[in-house]
Every structure is written in C-alpha cells, then in structure tokens.
Structure 1
Amino acid sequence: MKKNFWSKSFILTLVLALFLAVMTAGCSSKTDETASSKEKKENKTTASADEPGWKKDTSPITFDWYVNFSWFTGKWGDDAVSKYVTDKTGVSVNFISPAGNEAEKMNTMIASGQLPDFITLGWWEDAVKKMIEGKLVLPLNELADQYDPYFVKVTDPTKIEWFKQEDGNTYGYPNASSSPKDFEKYKDLKPSNQTFLVRKDMYEAIGSPDMSTPEGFLKALEAVKEKYPTVNGAPLIPFGLNEFTDVGNTSLEGYLQNFLAIPMEKDGKLYDRTKDPEYLRWLKTFRLANEKGLLSKDIFIDKRPQMEEKIAQGRYFAMLYQRSDLAAQEQALYAKDPNSVYIAVDGPKNSKGDEPTLAGDGISGWTVTLISKNVKDKERAIKFLSYLISEEGQKDLYMGKEGLTYDMVNGKPEFKPEVLDLLNKDRAGFDQKYGASFKYWMLMDTNMSLDWAPPTAEPAKQMEDWTKGKTVSFAAFDGISPTGTSPEGIAASKIAQLWGKTLPKLLLAKSDKEFDSMFKDFLKKRDSYGLDKVEKYQQEMYEANKKKLEVGSK
C-alpha cells in the first residue's frame, strides 16, 4: 500500500494560511462590529432632543392601530387632516376596532401574543397590565432613549412619572389628561363631560319640573310618557343611560355618585360609595321607575350604535350621559328644530341638595396608547408618537392645514368660515371632509387645544356651560383598582363581573325587599371573593398616588 507524505514546508505553508484566514476573519468581524457600533452611535447622536426626529425619514410606512372601542369607525386617508399628516410625515394608519365585545377581542390578541403596531384603550382596563406583564408592549422611555430623545421634550414628565411601572418603565401615554397644575390652571375653562340631559321641548311642555329629587324625577317621567307616548311613531324612552357591560354601567356608578356628591374618601380612608345610603336610595328610585313602566327594555340591551340612532330620533326624554358623545346627533336635531335638542339641567341630588362634584380631566386621562413589541419599525413608531404628542402634531390634528382648513388671524389659527360652519352644523360631515378638531382623539391634549379651539356654539354651549364650576379633580383615585393576575387583581375582576350581573337585576327587582335581598347577597359574595385584599391594595395605591401628586405639583 502506497503512503502519501506531506512535506514540512507544505504543512507550514498550510498552517500559516489558516492562521492568516482566521486573523482576517477576526479583523473583519471586529471591523463590522465597530462599524455597526459606530452606526448606532451616529444614529443616536444625530437624533436631537431639540429637533423632531420624524423629519429625518418621511418615506411611506403604514402602521396598524388598534382602538379598543367598537363604536370607533374612523378611517385614515379619507379626510384633509389625515392626508396632510401622511404627506408631511410619510405615515399612514390602518385603524382596527373590535366588531363585538372589546374585552374578548383584547384577550384573544393577548393570548395570541401578536398585537398591532399601536394599541389605544382605556387606562383602567385590565388588558393594559396584561400586556405589560406579558412583555407584549415596549417601554416608551427606552425607545425614546435609543431612537428619539425629542420624545422627552414634548411629553409631560408628571404624566410619564404617573404611568411608570414597578420596573421603572413607562409603556403608555394618555389623552385628555390633566396634571394637578393643569387642573388648577384650566378648571374654570374646562367643563366636565358628565351631564343630566332632557329634551328641551318635552321638558318645557311638562312645566320644566325639578328632577333632582326621587319624587320629582318619577313625576317628570310619568308626565312626559303620558304626554308623549310615541316619538314619530316609535315608543318614547323616558330615561336613557350608557350601555350595560359585563362589569356594570358608568351612568349608574361614577356619574350618579358624582351627581349625588358622594365622597371618595373620609378621614383619609377610601369610602365605599356602593353602600352609601344616598346611592342606594336613587338605585331604588330607578327600580321603582321600572316597576311603573318608565324604564324601557331598550336601555338594558342597546349598545352605542343603537343609542346614537335613537338619540338622533329624539326618542329619549332624559339621559344621564356624557354630553360629547351626542354632538353629531345634537346638531342634527338643532338643524331640524332648535327646541328638540337636549339641554343640561339639575339631575339627581342627595337629600341635602348639595351641588354635584363632577369629574374633570384627571391625570390618567381617558385612554392610553402603547407600542407593540411586534411593531414593524420601532424608530418610526416612537418618532410618530412624539409628533402626535408635540404641539405641532396637536395643532395639525386639531386645526388641519394652514390655507386649507384654517388661516392665521392676529397670530392665532382660526378655522375658515366654511370649515367652522360645517363643524357647528354637521359634525359627521365635518369629520368626513376635514377630520380636524380631534376626529383622531387617541393622543389629544385637551389643555393645549384651548389655545386654538373656537368658542363653543349652540346647542353644545348650553350643556358645556352648565357643568362649569361643578368640576373636581379625582386624580388621586385614578388607577387604584388592582388588575392582572395577582390575587387582588383576580378578586377585583370577579367582583366587577359580579356587579355587572347584579346591577341590572337590582333595577328589575319587583320590590324594595327583593332589591335589598339581592344587594345583601352581592355584598356577601364580594366579601368571599376577596374584597379585603382589593380594599387594602386600593388604600395603598391611593396613598401612593397622593405622594406622587405632591411631588409632581412642586
């Protein structure tokens, strides 16, 4: 068998070649790594805290934006404002909203681990904590530090601090939010959204009665039903509310309790408003109204689209409702007959007749917007968010484009006459054509917009003016309820769902005795679900909030 032998010189040559190859590869890797680090460093240093980052890249990109409200049907790109923003920033938006139950849709998306680029939902919703705990959303402060320090300049540090989580990060930014300083500065200018409304012509036809007492409330409903059994051939709905959900009804909770001026705390301890005698007195009043045939079945089953349709038809006589959500319908009624609109009057009061303590904008605002870990472009996302929060973005979304929707008059933007006319007469048409005045409300700053907003016109002015001087800040009580999968979070969720089932049954009870029995059973069950854990958590959070606000107000 013949053997092959390599010469020493060949072996040395081979070893040298391998050595050089390894060295070259190592140097190349180090060079690439250095280049990459240099590029990252340059990217960070070129992003300025004083210059809007979005201006560096205005190439076309489309973000999917989930809005967790089934009633939201806004479409980007069909109106002047969204076209202007896209032309300016390169960003288009594909809005997504749930077709049915919002909580079910959110839970399904969370379970899948796949979320759209942006998510907007109520700050109080359990899904917020679930997304954060599940690491499904990105820390805004980290995104800003890496890609866009301008974010820090345009955001309110008090709000960033307020939404900071235990890990030191902030994941969501609010809309319609007022810090304690904001509230004090603007409280005389900013009304509450909570109103007790009546249809003007019907109310005046029955003598404009006092409806602030249970007796007066019931007599008014009886009188109007007798005088107006139908409205344009359809049955009158004597009293309207927000929709019932699986956790209750906002009209019959915070709204009613605020109208009754029920305190949130007593002597530094949180007060259980649900057990307050004044509150139960009025729930029993609504029970009696149902017994008398004064509560329509519609109010227990209708969702917002059905309610909007019936408001537009003027079928409700009275409503405990948020005035802003009937703006379009109010304008339509006003155009047909100024006397058929809804006006704000004194609603339910406590037995002492105290003035209501209506909620103004709190520091938590209304909704929060988060960025998903699945976002298609982190850098463009945080820069677009910064733009929307900035004064420039706020002005673009509220006023639109100079020369098209507004002109500068004495140094201030003013809607063109034809634009303002449409806004005051046909909100739906205004939204479709122009899309200004916060059609896109996801990050609206309701304080900043006061510098541009035109004077409120009738019929909305009457409702707005009625609430002024009655607003208070409930900021310290924001976000105190536990959420998520902690023991107290699970207990709170079970109690909320129990209340959602109990509340309509209380109104449908056949007698006060049956009401009392149902309510007593509710109290026992919520105790067994772990109410003590929930209350302990709430008290601790309330005290922590007070400290936060003291720091933020300095």
Structure 2
Amino acid sequence: MRLKSIIKCLILLLLFVIFLEGCDNNTKNETASTSDVKEDSHVQALHEDEPGWKLDTSPVTFDWYVNFSWFETDWGNNVVSDYITDKTGVRVNFITPTGNENEKMNTMIASGSLPDFITIGWWEDGAKKMIDQELVLPLDELGKEYDPYFYKVTDDSKLEWYRQEDGHVYGYPNASSSPEDFERYKDLKPSNQTFLVRKDMYEALGRPDMRTPEGFLDALKKAKEQFPEVNGKPLIPLGLHEFTPVGNDSLEDYLQNFLAIPMKEDGKVYDRITDPEYIRWLKTFREVNEMGLLAKDIFIDKRAQMEEKIAEGRYFAMLYQRSDMAAQQQALYAKDPDSVYIAVDGPANSNLEAPTLPADGISGWTITLISKDVKDPERAIRFLSYLISEEGQKDTFLGKRGVTWETRNGKEQFLPEVLSLLKSDRMTFDQKYGAASTYWMLVDTNKTLEWAPLPAPPLKQLADWTKGKTVNLSEFEGIDPTGTTKEGIAANKIAEEWGRTLPMLLLAESEEVFDRLFQSFLQKRESYDFTIVREYRQNSYEENNRKLND
C-alpha cells in the first residue's frame, strides 16, 4: 500500500510539473505574440505613408538657432505656435545672434556643441563647416531609422541637390524651387529684387526715366533739391543694402541683374564684375557721391537703422529687396497711401534691356540642419518631416481652423479680421497669430501659393512689377568656394579685398582714381590665386548642370 501511495504521489507531482511547464510556455508564447504585435505595429507606424510624429506627442522642447539677428518672433503665445505645440507636443526655444552672425556661428562651431536645430543661409561658410566637422546628423539616415515619412514629404531633386560627397544629406531648404517648379510657377512667383522710389516724390518730379546714368543722376539731384527734408530730417536720395566686410548686395548681384549682365558666355562662367556695363554704372554711383547725393548713412547703417528710415519715408530711391521692407511699407500706407514706395524701371544696360531677376532657385534661401547634440533625434526628424509636409505647411501658414481661417467659396483662407491685420500691421499680426510664414524656416513657397491671399495694395505693385522679368539661375547657385580649402581661402581673401575696395570706389575723388583702385583690386585678385577660384566655379557650374539634368 505504501508503495502504491508513493507511486501515486510521484505521478501527481509529475503531472503538476508538466502543467506548470505548459502554463509557462503559454505565457511565453503570449508575451512573444504581444511583442510581435508591437513590433509589427511599430513597423507599420513607420511606413512612408504614416506621419511619424503622431507616434509620440509628449512634451519636448527643442533649441533652434536661427542665424539672422533680425528674427525676433518667439515661439508661444500666438495661435500658430500654440496650435502646433498642442498637436505635436513640440515647443521651440528660438536662439538668435545679438551681434555679428558669423562670429556667433563660428563661436558655436569652435565649441563643438550646437543647439538641436540650426537654420542658416545655404551660402554661408558656417553651413559647410558644420558638415565637414561632423557637427550635424545626416537627415537621410535619420529618416530611414526613425521616420520614413521624411522621404514622402521631401523633394527628391532637392535631396539630390544637397547630397554631399559622402552620399548623405544634412540640410533641407526653404523657399526652394526645382527647375520643374520654376517653370510651373514662374508666372505666379515674383522676384524679391526691386528698384524702388517714393511714390509722391517720384510723381512730383514727373516720373523721370531713371534707366540711364544721366536720367538716374538727374532724378536724384532734383529729388534732393525739391525735397531736402522729410519731417524735419534730411532726405536720403539713395538707399542700398548694408555694407558688409565682403561688399554690398545692392551694388553686386542686384545691379548686375538689373543690367541683364549674363552669367555665362560660350559655356564658361562669366566674370560679371569686369563687365563694361557694370563698371559704367559703378562709376555712375561714384558720381552720385561726387554730387553730394550719397549720404554717409548708407555706409554704416545696419538693417534695423534702415528699417527705421524706410518707415519714415526718408529715402527717395532704393535698390533693395522688397520683402525686407514690407512691414515699413504697410506702415507708410496706413499713414499716407501716397508716401509708399513703388517699383519702377531702374538702372539698365546701354540697350535698355529688361532686367534678369532671380526667383526661388533650387538652393532656396536657408537650410535647416539637425545637430549631433540633438536631445531627441527621433522626435527631431519627425518634427522636421511634419513642418515640410503639406499639413505642416498649412498649419504654419494658415494656423488653426475657425480661429485664423475658414473655407469660403471652396477656398481655405484667412478670416476677414485676420486678413485685415495681416495687410495693415504685420508686426502685430506675427505676435498675435504667427501665421503667413511667420515661422519661415522650412516654408515651401510653392505650396503656400494655394492659401496665400492677394498682397496688400502697397505690396502688390512691388511684386507685380517683377513678374515676367524672372529667370532660373539654379545652375549658378553655390558655385563659389568656401571653407578652408585652398580655393575657399583664396575666395575669402578676394571677397574681403572687394569689401574694402567697393566703398573706396564710390568715394573716389575722380574717375582716374576709380580706375586705379579697380585695377589694383584686379591685380590683388590675381595675386590671391583667382585662377583656382575661377576653375572651381567652372567645375561647380558644370556639376550643377549634371545634377539638374540627370
């Protein structure tokens, strides 16, 4: 009996062990099954058609450096930024330089530590330094690992344009148009480059023709004589972009484009600075100074001082970027519609040909990069993808439905009171609503055409004047060497020499002194090894053509 009892106990024990093992295996299988479901769900969520940002909308704050001292709009306390934060969980702490942008950028690069996001002009040396020194992450790799949606919302041609020698893409542009985009939108998209005159003064002078050196000088002279003061302050006959250590935009590309100076001749990149038409007009600007019509303000004023003077209507004429004075233009219009600036035909070549003005090229205006020090690379690339996407473009442009926009007559458009503020007071609009590309870092100016209202009356004429005069100059973008290569060092020396020479040319006591100064610059340019710069530019131009035509 005892033996039988022992055997029964052993059998029961064995059955119990088998039962436990079965339960354990079931638990493991259930766990494995759950894990597989999660993994399958994760893979599905990271599909190219699914926005990755929706997977995690918990609060996160990114530091975003914008390399423009004039950008002053904070994130938060306006409709657009609050709406985006509520939707995505992302807050942004914008950082901007308080002084010289290049110095700030170089200091950050030297430290080896950068904020989470960086927005910088694509042409700036700092962009190349960050990439060369491996301070930023490849966006293509981040997209593959964390957000395939990145590849759905980005433009392949723009990715290829910005692909580096190592095969990776580190920056994505705003305000960029591929050649196909340019052809599609060229009749709708104006150039920013304009020659402006104050409407009431110009009309009082009989709307003079300012296309020739003689007409240009005569109009400035008569404006100074007839309107010596504006509200008790001296009239500034001519306004230009600010002088920098490497020159002045108004007196370089702007002037050359107004003169329709070619970018190439016989397949070779043309040395526009030596063009006879350009030299003829630089000498005209020297005469402007000789006649006492070139105010000393223009050599020292920065953008903030210029904006103040534009708002006061103190310039008679300006060779200037219309978007840089939009807020001041609206302020003038609110005070007196006749005191605004209008775009007119400005300096022209001897044949009085129409200008060849650039619109958005494939390089765009700025590029945005993600730092290697980014606190959360997964959320960062997903937020970048969101901003690039049509949804992000719509959110940053229109804002929140029912608060800033509605659908009327089948079109998504700003509410009347929002549109009214946009057209009357851009600064207050930015602070209250933050819409209409207030946050322009990744704006796609082709997509936003769908929602953009007609420009306010004082801005519309400026834009309309440039239409039909735009050309695509994408193949010439980014051909100048930068950085610490021998070509980059040579190009930088030449640029700084030009920055020193240009004001001296305008202030030259005579045409003979002008000629000596200009020849001296050309000689120094050769001594700084201009030959290798010229070769680099030609090779880059040819490589650009290959990229654009592949």
Band the TM-score falls in, shorter-chain normalisation: over 0.9
Structure 2 alignment gaps of length 5 or more: 1-33
Aligned to 2:315: 316
Aligned to 1:262: 261
Aligned to 1:14: none
Rounded to whole Å, the distance in 2 between the matches of 1:305 and 1:446 is 26
Aligned to 2:10: none
Rounded to whole Å, the distance in 2 between the matches of 1:174 and 1:543 is 22
Would you say the 8 A contact 1:118–1:371 is kept in 2?
yes
Rounded to whole Å, the distance in 2 between the matches of 1:524 and 1:508 is 20
Shift in alpha-carbon separation, 1:264–1:407, aligned structure 2, 3 A: same
Rounded to whole Å, the distance in 2 between the matches of 1:385 and 1:243 is 32
Task: Tell whether 2:171 aligns with 1:177.
Answer: no
Would you say the 8 A contact 1:44–1:146 is kept in 2?
no
> What amino acid is the match of 1:388?
L
Aligned to 1:402: 401
More off after superposition, 138-147 vs 454-463: 454-463
Aligned to 2:424: 425
Rounded to whole Å, the distance in 2 between the matches of 1:44 and 1:148 is 10
Residue 410 of structure 1 and its aligned partner are, at CA, apart by 3.6
1:43-82 alignment to 2 at 5 Å? 43=42, 46-82=45-81
Aligned to 1:158: 157
Aligned to 2:4: none
Would you say the 8 A contact 1:278–1:351 is kept in 2?
yes
Aligned to 1:325: 324
Residue 207 of structure 1 and its aligned partner are, at CA, apart by 1.1
Task: Tell whether 2:493 aligns with 1:484.
Answer: no
Would you say the 8 A contact 2:481–2:536 is kept in 1?
yes
Q: Deviations over 1:159-193 (max 9, x none)?
A: 00000000000000001000000000000011111
Rounded to whole Å, the distance in 1 between the matches of 2:433 and 2:179 is 33
1:397-546 alignment to 2 at 5 Å? 397-546=396-545
Would you say the 8 A contact 1:44–1:147 is kept in 2?
no
Rounded to whole Å, the distance in 1 between the matches of 2:219 and 2:535 is 42
Aligned to 1:218: 217
Q: Deviations over 1:281-321 (max 9, x none)?
A: 11111111011110111100000010100000000110000
Q: Deviations over 1:213-256 (max 9, x none)?
A: 11111101110101111111111111001111111111111110
Residue 41 of structure 1 and its aligned partner are, at CA, apart by 9.0
Would you say the 8 A contact 1:257–1:273 is kept in 2?
yes
- Provide the secondary structure at the position in 1 that maps to 2:98: coil
More off after superposition, 41-50 vs 62-71: 41-50
Residue 411 of structure 1 and its aligned partner are, at CA, apart by 3.5
Rounded to whole Å, the distance in 2 between the matches of 1:433 and 1:397 is 13
- Provide the secondary structure at the position in 2 that maps to 1:119: strand
Structure 1 alignment gaps of length 5 or more: 1-34
- Provide the secondary structure at the position in 1 that maps to 2:457: coil
Q: Deviations over 1:53-92 (max 9, x none)?
A: 0111111111111111111111110211111111111111
Q: Deviations over 1:338-380 (max 9, x none)?
A: 0000000000000110100001110001110101111111001
Rounded to whole Å, the distance in 1 between the matches of 2:439 and 2:136 is 22
Rounded to whole Å, the distance in 2 between the matches of 1:204 and 1:461 is 19
1:330-409 alignment to 2 at 5 Å? 330-409=329-408
1:9-20 alignment to 2 at 5 Å? none
The alignment covers a number of residue pairs equal to 517
Would you say the 8 A contact 2:340–2:458 is kept in 1?
yes
Would you say the 8 A contact 1:138–1:171 is kept in 2?
yes
TM-score (norm 2): 0.92
> What amino acid is the match of 1:123?
W
Would you say the 8 A contact 2:197–2:316 is kept in 1?
yes
Rounded to whole Å, the distance in 2 between the matches of 1:42 and 1:520 is 69
Aligned to 1:94: 93
> What amino acid is the match of 2:546?
K
Would you say the 8 A contact 2:174–2:444 is kept in 1?
yes
- Provide the secondary structure at the position in 2 that maps to 1:459: helix
Residue 44 of structure 1 and its aligned partner are, at CA, apart by 5.3
> What amino acid is the match of 1:275?
T
1:202-213 alignment to 2 at 5 Å? 202-213=201-212
Rounded to whole Å, the distance in 2 between the matches of 1:213 and 1:37 is 76
Residue 495 of structure 1 and its aligned partner are, at CA, apart by 1.0
Q: CA RMSD in A?
A: 1.5
Would you say the 8 A contact 1:388–1:443 is kept in 2?
yes
Residue 37 of structure 1 and its aligned partner are, at CA, apart by 13
